[in-house]
Structure 1
Amino acid sequence: MMQPFLFIGNLGMGELLVICLIVLLLFGGKKIPELMRGLGKGVRSFKEGVNNIERDIENCAEDPKK
C-alpha cells in the first residue's frame, strides 16, 4: 500500500549527498537527531490517525446503527 515518492527516482547519489551536506550545514550535527526524532513522532502519529479512521469505518460497516 505504500507508494514510493515520485521525486526520489529522479535523484542520484550526487544530489542526495549535496542535500545531506546542506542539511548538516544548516542544522549542525547535534540538531539532526532531534529533527529525525520529531519527524518519526509525526509519522507515527499520522499512521495512528489513519489506522483509527480505518477502524472506525470498519466498525460502522459491521455494526450499522438502526
Structure 2
Amino acid sequence: MFGMSELAVILLVVIAVLAAKKLPGLARSAGKSARILKAEARAAQDEGAAPRVIRGEVVTDRAQGDAAPRS
C-alpha cells in the first residue's frame, strides 16, 4: 500500500501540523545545541592553546571570601 518514504512524508506533515507552535522553539534549541557542540569540539582540538576568557558570572572561592568582579 504505502512504502517507507511515503509513510515518512506523511509522518513529517502530521508532526508539522500538530506541533506548529513548538517548532520554532525546538529549532532554536537545536541550533543552540549545535553551536555548543561545535564550540566544544573546537575547544577539544585547541586544547594546547591558551584558554579563552568568557565574561559571565563571577566565581568566588569560599576559602578566600567574596571576590570583586574582574573587568
> Unaligned 5+ residue runs, structure 1?
1-10, 61-66
Q: Which has the larger radius of gyration?
A: 2
More helix per residue:
1
Match of 1:49 in 2: 40
CA distance in structure 1 between the aligned counterparts of 2:17 and 2:27, rounded to whole angstroms: 16
Match of 2:53 in 1: none
Match of 2:25 in 1: 34
The alignment's TM-score, normalised by the length of structure 1, stands at 0.53
> Unaligned 5+ residue runs, structure 2?
50-71
The alignment's TM-score, normalised by the length of structure 2, stands at 0.50
Match of 1:16 in 2: 8
Q: Root-mean-square deviation (CA), in Å?
A: 2.2
Equivalences, count: 46
Alpha carbons of 1:25 and 1:43: their partners in 2 closer, same or farther (altered >3 Å)? Answer: same
